[in-house]
Amino acid sequence: MDKKIADKLLEGLAPVPLHISQQQSPAGETYYKATVRYRDTIDIKKIINRIVAKRTELRASTLLNAYQMVCDEIYSALEEGFNVDFGLGRTDLSVNGTFVNTGDDFDPDRHTFAFHLRPSPRLMQIAEHLKGDNYNGPQRAPRPTSIHPAIPEQWPVDKKLGKAIPYGCPSFEVEGTQLKVMGDHPDTGLTLRRLDDDSLLPASHFMLYINHPTRLVVILREPIERGEWELTISTQYSRNYQPYKEPRKGTLRFTIF
């Protein structure tokens, strides 16, 4: 299985948005439980496209065919009675149901098998480094979680950015959920505010280039000053494209270094 990596490589991971809800125990005692808010799922085709964009000149179709062959062989090995270590984890097989005694035979009507994933040390390490962020605002409000230069070549070499972008970077990308800017309310749009002096960057200094529910790309017409900044996204976007009457807002603080 995949081994742990240096802890410093996991610094600056985006916090996981949590929703805290009131619960009641069978004894009538009140307690509060956290659940992870909605997270988008990306499929293997998107993973391969990310690989092609970042780290290889191989064609996406080549990688996808290779991946499918590996998956088919994993299934074949499982059918032949092997557990499979595929890096992210190892498959384990368990049996469900009770038996009458030690001589009782397996009965398909009473017993079933189930495959489980035993996470790799590296996968568990990622979970150990994640931090929660209590966000009990509207369920469908914009939720920006990370910011980075829009083009990989603009990233500083060997530097983990976290929520930061370098001075002079001409464009940046914001990732999250419910981000798409839409609606005709006058408050709808993006706002960039410098926290050091509470000044606003004029709207003429930047342009929204890509406008997607999980991804925004902003082009800066000129470099913005170093310091602490806050991005506010105000939108009436809803998944069924029936705009909310009032804009919902989400904010993300980041550093220009």
* Mean pLDDT score of the chain: 89
Query: Does residue 19 lie within any of the structural domains?
Result: yes
The reply to whether 121 and 11 lie within a common domain is: yes
Domain range for residue 215? 137-256
- Which of residues 129, 159, 183 is at a domain's end? 129
The reply to whether 101 and 51 lie within a common domain is: yes
- Residue 223, SS3? coil
Q: What pLDDT does 50 receive?
A: 81
Higher pLDDT, 184 or 242: 184
The reply to whether 97 and 179 lie within a common domain is: no
Does residue 158 register a pLDDT over 70? no
- Which of residues 129, 160, 181 is at a domain's end? 129
- Residue 168, SS3? coil
Is residue 12 within 8 A of residue 160, CB to CB? The reply is yes
Question: What is the domain count for the chain?
Answer: 2
Q: Residue 60 — pLDDT band, cuts 50, 70, 90?
A: very high
Q: At what angle do helices 44-55 and 60-79 cross, to 10 degrees?
A: 130
